[in-house]
Structure 1
Amino acid sequence: MKEILRRDADAIVRASIQAVLPDKAIRRALAEFRPGPGRTLLVAAGKAAWQMARAAVDTLGAVDGGVVITKYGHSKGPIPGVQCCEAGHPVPDDAGFFATARALELVRNLTVGDTVLFLLSGGGSALFEQPLVSGAELQDITRQLLACGADIVQMNTIRKRLSRVKGGRFARACAPAKVFAVVLSDILGDPLDMIASGPACPDHSTCKQALAIAEQYDLKLSDEARRLLAVETPKALDNVTTRVTGSVRELCAAAADRCRALGYEPVLLTDQLCCEAREAGRFLAGVLRTHAGDGRRLAFLAGGETVVHLTGSGLGGRNQELALAAAPGIAGLNAAVFSVGSDGTDGPTDAAGGYVDGDTAAALERRGISVYETLRNNDAYHALRAVDGLLVTGPTGTNVNDVAVALLGENAI
């Protein structure tokens, strides 16, 4: 019976990601694209940047120059007229700084007749960066924010004030040229000023909020960084048109459709999941326990993005940690919990997420692996790898948050 659950989980993951690949979404958005009489330039940034850029060039036929900046391993070949660059994520690196400098050079001295097609996806906060502090300090601040469990909105409120391109500053650099931005959303509620820190969107966050976040997490900042947090970002831009395409809602809907096709009754719990990963895993396990005697094949879905508070030095990601935390709660049940990042990478690993079922806790115990100690050390990757619990898709070319699914098979108890 557990083999059926794993087979179904793999099918749900494949169908969900296939449904949110950006090609169709880009074509829909470009139906409204009206470039000016001058040059048409392309800048794409984020984990889905290569896929978005390729779809755009295929649709338009050609561009007059461009720069793509995506995560290492996410570029899948040359794109005509476009320089493809790879850089570090989630911590920015020199390769990203260099590539962003190329993008800024590309849009320098544009005229009112020129147009910049700006394709933005999740991960752009790290990948599309030209810091106003030293690169080393920006990397240190990013690591501090990741380690303390700050959510993506809090992280971006800080980072956009330390950047030449975030918080609307890239669109300002393109002026007087028009910017047509197509955004693949990876933040709950699609707040444009927070997706990749809003390079082409007026910033709605304030200096007061940024300083409060720095105090909340006791961030170690240089005097210059603290001064920059008090410098306000652009609050209005008159040269930008934006289209949001793709979201976690589509990811959840696709997962639900595949669950239904496989014979499960899908129940969407939320598409706004935002909590500690291990707490989400324990919650989903509790839901399965509650319904284990119903006699129905059920699928409970939760979309969004959890966070991990680093307490150890192990290897893993939020989706792997969510799944592993569910394992004790579903021990002995004909049930499974899995969680996957739509971009195909979960934390600094080669896995997209993790999978556990009613046999996982016992399998880990036989190998002398404690779920509690593993979670304390944030080492879900190695524990799940030991019991064939890693979900590996490779880079997918999209990025619209995560989806977690709790499956309840027949005769669950």
Structure 2
Amino acid sequence: MSKIREDADKIVQAALAAALPDAAVKRALEGRDFGPGRLVLVAAGKAAWQMAAAACGILGERLDAGIVVTKYGHVKGPIPGVECCEAGHPVPDENSFAATQKAIDLVSGLTEQDTVLFLLSGGGSALFEKPLIPAEQLEDITRQLLGCGASIVEINTLRKRLSAVKGGRFARLCRPAKVFSVVLSDIIGDPLDMIASGPAYPDSSTCAQAAAIVERYGLRLSDEARALLEQETPKELDNVETQITGSVRQLCAAAEKACRELGYEPVVLTDQLCCTARDAGSFLGAIARTHNDTQKSLAFIAGGETVVQLTGKGLGGRNQEIALAAAPLLAGLDRAAVFSVGSDGTDGPTDAAGGYCDQESLAALAAAGWDVPATLADNDAYHALAAVNGLIITGPTGTNVNDLTVLLLDRQ
């Protein structure tokens, strides 16, 4: 393995370790008085198990009951007194619905003296769901949104109106109990009503915005779904207190520190990257070409969440497409690499966290029979990168704070 690939792996590991929610959950809960009533825990999202384990380690026997709803493969073991459920993502399934109903049952019948500790992280939009339309309709709408290149904010604007728990509706189901919500952000700018579609936060989006999204992407909706999009979501909630615990800024800062310790001069380009994955990869490749004559090692860092437009039938994810799209521009340069990872450890419907390409990747891809433009058109970055050792595989990480993309220029 080349030094620059070793550096990339070290940066990924350091950034992910720093972005784990344990310390933030501890800060949110230590010394907090939940009063004399019952305390029940509901954790939903890709980081739900990690957040719940941290909370239970602090609260101990003070916690009366709890449930975790997370993605398949993300439960790392039993948590005393807490039921751990795994469900579908990015498309909800029957396990999503069953686990969410268990959470609703858990908070039913609580009093004003009781508190729901709601630990929320990205991915909750699919995992924490009780649809108001038939499941097959919800699955079809979700797939349409994922395939047309809609942003996560646009997707969640529609999801809220098709659900009994999103857009502040779960907090209403908890009444008269209080809700203390601890949120790990996976959306640029940390909009609390959009993270996991805001089950316990007033919704700022409107019916008019929902209708505009349907029109913009030409979505196919049933009359039943269209009628739900015309019903407004809660705009005020008087039983909720919310604290945000982490975001992509933390991920970028950790990467910046790791790059500096490895001898690179880091430059944080943005923590709000929001273009297509292919454009992001090409842009970073262009930066590499501009700075190829540099005499010092440089690291250009970007955090955020890109989108993929599905034009083919291959396998991959947005971070893998970023790396693959950079490969043609990195070819022939002097020790340059682009890598990109999803902080939750999964990128699209794959077992990879993301992808890596350097100045030698294009030639290796060609030798293995892979044409980059054709592969990107078929959305098959996973198989192409697998052929040249370009996949980054971390396994489930326990956190979820957007994606990290880095360009390295090694002159050491």
Same fold (TM over 0.5): yes
- Identify the residue that residue 340 of structure 1 maps to in structure 2: 341
**Separation in 2, partners of 1:111, 1:304:** 40
Partner of 2:316: 316
Superposition map of 1:372-391 within 5 A: 372-391=373-392
Aligned to 1:59: 58
Residue 192 of structure 1 aligns with an amino acid whose one-letter code is L
User: In structure 2, how many angstroms separate the alpha carbons of the residues matched to 1:83 and 1:134?
Assistant: 26
Q: Which residue identity lines up with residue 344 of structure 1 in the other structure?
A: G
Structure 1 position 34, deviation (Å): 2.5
Residue matched to 1:75 = 75
Mapped contact 1:170–1:200 kept (Cα < 8 A): yes
1:149-188 aligned within 5 A = 149-188=149-188
Q: Is the 8 A contact 1:297 1:407 kept in 2?
A: yes
Matched, 1:240 2:240: yes
**Is the counterpart of residue 15 in structure 1 residue 14 in structure 2?**
yes
User: CA 1:6 to 1:112, structure 2 compared with 1: closer, same or farther past 3 Å?
Assistant: same
SS at match of 1:269: strand
C-alpha distance in 2 between matches for 1:331 and 1:169? 51
Shift of 1:332: 1.4
- Give distance in 1, aligned partners of 2:12 and 2:212: 39
Deviation at 1:295, TM superposition (A): 1.3
Corresponding residue for 1:259?
259
Output one character per residue of 1:84-113: Cα deviation in whole Å (capped at 9) or x when no partner.
Answer: 000000001000000000000111111000
Q: Following the alignment from structure 1 to structure 2, what is the Cα–Cα distance between the partners of residues 344 and 32?
A: 32
Q: Is the 8 A contact 2:30 2:58 kept in 1?
A: no
Q: Secondary structure at the match of 2:2?
A: helix
Displacement of 1:32:
6.0
1:31 deviation in Å? Answer: 2.8
Distance between the aligned counterparts of 1:146 and 1:33, measured in 2? 40
Note if 1:200 corresponds to 2:200: yes
Give distance in 2, aligned partners of 1:114 and 1:12.
43
Amino acid at match of 1:340: V
Given residue 187 of structure 2, which amino acid in structure 1 is its aligned partner?
Answer: I
SS of aligned partner of 2:310: coil
Q: What do residues 223-265 of structure 1 show as CA deviations (whole Å, max 9, x unaligned)? A: 1100000000000000000000111001000001010000000
Residue 147 of structure 2 corresponds to 147
SS at match of 2:204: coil
Cα distance in 2 between the residues matched to 1:129 and 1:34: 30
Q: CA separation in 2, counterparts of 1:388 and 1:267?
A: 27
Secondary structure, aligned partner of 1:338:
strand
- Aligned partners of 1:33 and 1:180 also within 8 Å: no
Give the deviation of 1:38 after TM superposition. Answer: 1.2
Residue 29 of structure 2 corresponds to 30
AA aligned opposite 2:115: T
In structure 2, give the amino acid aligned to 1:28: R
User: Which letter maps to 1:14?
Assistant: Q
Please say if residues 118 and 182 of structure 1, whose CA atoms lie closer than 8 Å, have aligned partners that are also in contact: yes
Q: Is the 8 Å Cα contact of residues 273 and 304 (structure 1) preserved in structure 2?
A: yes
CA contact (8 A) 1:335 1:358 kept: yes
Q: Write the distance in 1 (CA, Å) between the matches of 2:200 and 2:17.
A: 28
Q: Aligned with 1:245: secondary structure?
A: strand
Is residue 250 from structure 1 mapped to residue 258 from structure 2 by the alignment? no
Segments of 5+ residues of structure 2 without an aligned counterpart are none
Residue 109 of structure 2 corresponds to residue 109 of structure 1: yes
Which residue type is aligned with residue 284 of structure 1? L
- Deviations 1:355-406, CA, capped at 9 Å, x for gaps: 0000000001111210000000000000000000000000000000001000
Distance 1:41 1:410 in 2: 54
User: 2:109 & 2:369 partners in 1: Cα distance?
Assistant: 63
**Distance (whole Å) between structure 2 residues aligned to residue 196 and residue 174 of structure 1:** 17
**C-alpha distance in structure 2 between counterparts of 1:82 and 1:363, whole Å:** 48
Partner secondary structure for residue 246 of structure 2: coil
Please, which runs of 5 or more residues in structure 1 have no aligned partner? none
- Give the conservation status (yes or no) of the 8 Å contact 2:308–2:318: yes
Structure 1 residue 33 displacement after superposition:
3.2
Alpha carbons 2:320, 2:391 under 8 Å: kept = yes
User: In the alignment, is the contact (CA less than 8 A) between 2:277 and 2:308 conserved in 1?
Assistant: yes
SS in 2 for 1:327: helix
* Cα RMSD, aligned residues only: 0.8
How far residue 167 of structure 1 moved from its aligned partner, in angstroms, is 0.2
Structure 1 position 282, deviation (Å): 0.2
Q: Could you say which residue in structure 2 is the equivalent of 1:403?
A: 404
Code of the aligned partner of 1:366: A
Residues 45 and 119, structure 1, Cα contact 8 Å, conserved in 2: yes
Distance (whole Å) between structure 1 residues aligned to residue 34 and residue 225 of structure 2: 38
Q: Contact 2:188 / 2:304 at 8 angstroms: preserved in 1?
A: yes
User: Is the contact made by 2:337 and 2:356 (CA closer than 8 Å) also made in structure 1?
Assistant: yes
Partner of 2:5: 6
Residue of structure 1 equivalent to 2:360: 359
1: CA distance between counterparts of 2:245 and 2:32? 14
Pairwise CA distance, 1:273: 0.2
Within 2, Cα distance between the matches of 1:189 and 1:215? 25
What is the deviation of 1:36? 2.7
